[in-house]
């Protein structure tokens, strides 16, 4: 494989079923110097270009995971940028946006630069990092949000892992008035959460989690968020939506591009009470996985397009930490590697199509956050793609997982295909579950 001065490589993928936002067509893909050169029925490549024969396989543009927690710095016993990004590319994710609730949290430019330096030469995928909003930095965020490698601003309206928090409307309004990029929001109402955790005596079952952080906790915060988005005119992105009621609210308020919505595979593929009976605290996350009524509503919203993108909310903890008694067991489920296999099963089960996967993990993320050169195989775009073998239909194997967390509630789920080759800017970085070459991830670029 030729490595050029531009850092991109050349690759000729032949006879693949290329999945686009509208259709699936057998085509060749030619990547030169890390950029898509041509996608057509038959492409003639210059001599010496490395060739991948992909007959019978699907090719998707590289998938973008808009919400991961890779825990570095400070919590590397759970994950780090090397292990998390390796899990990402093994699962077909070629770019990720990482969350700021590390230790220390990413709350100023120096900490953003520190993360970028840590990622350099260690991240297998392209990347950007969110800055976390606080009462202290609220008025400075607009100065920082366009710094290179910044994914934008993340707000925690309710406490979750770490201590980042914007619990009140006055501070949230200051955050929304500082800057212009879409703000990503964890929407749970802190005052209500405090009240409800205060009623616990300890030793309750984790199956109570969706009642502790109940529908009203999510709905109340989302109502406040939409009010403030409308008042300030600032675009917001509602992360990991978990209730039918919030989806109805978004529909009713009809705020157009002001509000975009993200869902996680956990809320789409797990359901209470079974997930807690079967997996205990391994299925505990914030906002919680709820019952089938919510799962059905989420699946419908994803299929109809109300949900703009899917982010894994990959949130690893160790098994020892997860074994603590509820509510001291930490919230979070690893998932960066299992998103694509799960969505392939949704296609097999008939509630999504292959082009929907492109909408939810490629063009949708690019629309929501404005990535430059990502999420598409249009000529000139970055040569990122994932090749899927739809014939690999075994149960999801535990030894395929690369996250340091070492567990997934989806191990054993019958698959409808598995990613077999992942390509970042023309470089094969993962093949048949093993890393290839070196970690060549770079900061993502954005358009205003
Ligand atoms: O369950 C969760 N875990 N939800 C979050 O918002 C944070 C995440 C984590 O970082 O562990």
Residue 1 lies inside a defined structural domain of this protein: no
Average pLDDT over residues 44-52: 94
Which atom of ligand 1 lies at the shortest distance from residue 284's CA? 1
Which residues, listed in sequence order, are joined to residue 58 by a DSSP beta bridge? Answer: 17, 388
Residue 1: predicted pLDDT: 35
Residue 197: predicted pLDDT: 97
Q: What is the pLDDT of residues 322-361, one digit of tens each?
A: 999 999 999 999 999 999 999 999 999 999 999 999 999 9
Q: Rounded CA gap, 123 and 217, in Å?
A: 36
Residue at a domain's end among 335, 369, 403:
369
Are residues 72 and 25 part of one domain? no
Residue 3: predicted pLDDT: 35
Are residues 104 and 28 part of one domain? no
Average pLDDT over residues 300-309: 98
Residue 412: predicted pLDDT: 96
Domain range enclosing 254: 62-369
Average pLDDT over residues 238-262: 98
As to burial, measured by CB atoms within 10 angstroms (0-12 exposed, 13-18 middle, 19+ buried), residue 166 is buried
Tell how far the Cα of 186 is from the centroid of ligand 1, in angstroms: 9
Residue 202: predicted pLDDT: 87
The total of structural domains in the chain comes to: 2
Residue 427, pLDDT > 70, answer: yes
Are residues 360 and 258 part of one domain? yes
Active-site annotation, residues: 313
Alpha-carbon distances, residue 333 vs 179, 180, 187, 228, 408 (angstroms): 31, 31, 18, 30, 7
Tell how far the Cα of 443 is from the centroid of ligand 1, in angstroms: 23
Instruction: Please say whether the beta carbons of 147 and 112 come within 8 A.
Output: yes
Are residues 66 and 53 part of one domain? no
78 lines ligand 1 (CB under 6 A): no
Residue 89 lies inside a defined structural domain of this protein: yes
Residue 8: predicted pLDDT: 87
Residue 367, pLDDT > 90, answer: yes
Residue 385, pLDDT > 80, answer: yes
5 falls in which pLDDT band (50, 70, 90)? Answer: very low
Phi, then psi, of 386 in degrees rounded to 5 = -130, 135
Q: Rounded CA gap, 383 and 389, in Å?
A: 19
Are residues 82 and 22 part of one domain? no
Q: CATH no. for residue 175?
A: 3.20.20.140
Are residues 68 and 54 part of one domain? no
Radius of gyration of the chain (CA): 21
Are residues 203 and 319 part of one domain? yes
448 falls in which pLDDT band (50, 70, 90)? Answer: confident
Residue 272, pLDDT > 80, answer: yes
Residue 166 lies inside a defined structural domain of this protein: yes
Residue 7, pLDDT > 90, answer: no
**Torsion region of 152: left, alpha or beta (phi above 0 gives left; psi -120 to 50 gives alpha):** left
Average pLDDT over residues 214-236: 98
Tell how far the Cα of 435 is from the centroid of ligand 1, in angstroms: 27
Q: What H or E segment, with its residue span, contains residue 128? A: strand 126-132
Residue 107: predicted pLDDT: 98
Pairing of strands 58-61, 63-68: unpaired
Residue 73, pLDDT > 50, answer: yes
Residue 3 lies inside a defined structural domain of this protein: no
Q: What is the pLDDT of residues 137-161, one digit of tens each?
A: 999 999 999 999 999 999 999 999 9
Q: What H or E segment, with its residue span, contains residue 344? A: helix 339-348
Instruction: Please say whether the beta carbons of 343 and 362 come within 8 A.
Output: no
Q: CATH no. for residue 37?
A: 2.30.40.10
Residue reference for tokens 């998932």:
335
Residue 375: predicted pLDDT: 98
Average pLDDT over residues 351-373: 97
Are residues 406 and 360 part of one domain? no
Are residues 299 and 430 part of one domain? no
Residue 2, pLDDT > 90, answer: no
Q: Which residue has the CA at smallest separation from atom 10 of ligand 1?
A: 161
**Crossing angle for the helix pair 190-198 and 215-232, nearest 10 degrees?**
160
Are residues 205 and 76 part of one domain? yes
Residue 19 lies inside a defined structural domain of this protein: yes
Residue 100 lies inside a defined structural domain of this protein: yes
Average pLDDT over residues 3-30: 88
Residue at a domain's end among 322, 342, 369:
369
Q: Which residues contact 202 (CB under 8 A, 6 or more apart)?
A: 325, 327
Pairing of strands 309-310, 126-132: unpaired
Mean pLDDT of the chain: 96
Residue 402 lies inside a defined structural domain of this protein: yes
Which atom of ligand 1 lies at the shortest distance from residue 333's CA? 1
Q: Which residue has the CA at smallest separation from atom 3 of ligand 1?
A: 332
Residue 6, pLDDT > 60, answer: no
Q: State whether residue 209 is helix, strand or coil.
A: helix
Q: What is the pLDDT of residues 311-320, one digit of tens each?
A: 999 999 999 9
Are residues 404 and 351 part of one domain? no
Give the whole-number percent of the chain exceeding pLDDT 70. 98
Which atom of ligand 1 lies at the shortest distance from residue 285's CA? 1
Q: Which residue has the CA at smallest separation from atom 2 of ligand 1?
A: 332
Tell how far the Cα of 254 is from the centroid of ligand 1, in angstroms: 28
Give the whole-number percent of the chain exceeding pLDDT 90. 97
Instruction: Please say whether the beta carbons of 424 and 33 come within 8 A.
Output: no
Residue at a domain's end among 369, 402, 423:
369
381 lines ligand 1 (CB under 6 A): no
Residue 55 lies inside a defined structural domain of this protein: yes
Are residues 319 and 226 part of one domain? yes
């Amino acid at each position: 494989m030729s490595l050029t001065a531009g850092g991109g490589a050349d690759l000729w993928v032949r006879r693949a079923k290329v999945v686009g936002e509208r259709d699936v067509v057998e085509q060749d893909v030619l990547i030169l110097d890390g950029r898509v050169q041509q996608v057509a029925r038959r492409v003639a490549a210059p001599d010496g270009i490395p060739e991948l024969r992909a007959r019978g396989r699907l090719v998707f543009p590289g998938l973008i995971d808009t919400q991961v927690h890779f825990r570095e710095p400070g919590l590397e016993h759970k994950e780090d940028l090397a292990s998390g990004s390796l899990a990402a590319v093994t699962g077909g994710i070629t770019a990720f946006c990482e969350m700021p609730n590390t230790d220390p949290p990413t709350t100023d430019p120096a900490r953003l630069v520190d993360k970028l330096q840590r990622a350099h030469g260690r991240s297998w995928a392209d990347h950007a990092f969110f800055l976390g909003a606080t009462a202290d930095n609220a008025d400075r965020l607009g100065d920082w949000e366009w710094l290179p490698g910044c994914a934008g601003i993340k707000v925690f309206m309710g406490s979750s892992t770490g201590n980042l928090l914007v619990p009140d409307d006055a501070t949230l309004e200051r955050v929304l008035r500082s800057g212009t990029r879409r703000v990503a929001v964890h929407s749970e109402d802190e005052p209500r959460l405090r009240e409800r955790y205060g009623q616990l005596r300890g030793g309750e079952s984790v199956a109570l989690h969706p009642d502790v952080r109940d529908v009203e906790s999510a709905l109340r915060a989302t109502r406040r968020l939409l009010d403030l988005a409308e008042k300030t005119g600032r675009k917001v992105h509602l992360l990991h939506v978990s209730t039918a009621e919030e989806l109805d609210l978004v529909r009713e308020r009809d705020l157009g591009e002001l509000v975009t919505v993200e869902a996680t595979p956990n809320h789409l593929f797990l359901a209470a009470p079974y997930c807690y009976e079967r997996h205990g605290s391994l299925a505990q996350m914030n906002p919680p996985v709820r019952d089938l009524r919510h799962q059905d509503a989420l699946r419908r919203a994803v299929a109809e397009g109300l949900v703009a993108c899917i982010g894994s909310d990959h949130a690893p903890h160790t098994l020892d930490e997860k074994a603590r008694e509820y509510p001291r067991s930490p919230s979070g489920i690893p998932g960066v590697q299992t998103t694509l296999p799960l969505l392939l099963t949704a296609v097999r089960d008939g509630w999504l199509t292959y082009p929907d996967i492109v909408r939810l993990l490629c063009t949708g993320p690019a629309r929501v956050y404005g990535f430059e050169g990502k999420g598409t195989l249009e000529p000139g775009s970055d040569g990122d793609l994932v090749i899927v073998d739809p014939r690999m239909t075994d149960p999801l194997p535990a030894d395929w997982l690369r996250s340091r967390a070492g567990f997934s509630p989806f191990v054993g789920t019958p698959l409808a295909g598995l990613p077999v080759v992942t390509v970042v800017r023309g470089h094969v970085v993962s093949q048949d579950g093993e890393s290839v070459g070196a970690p060549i991830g770079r900061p993502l670029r954005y358009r205003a």
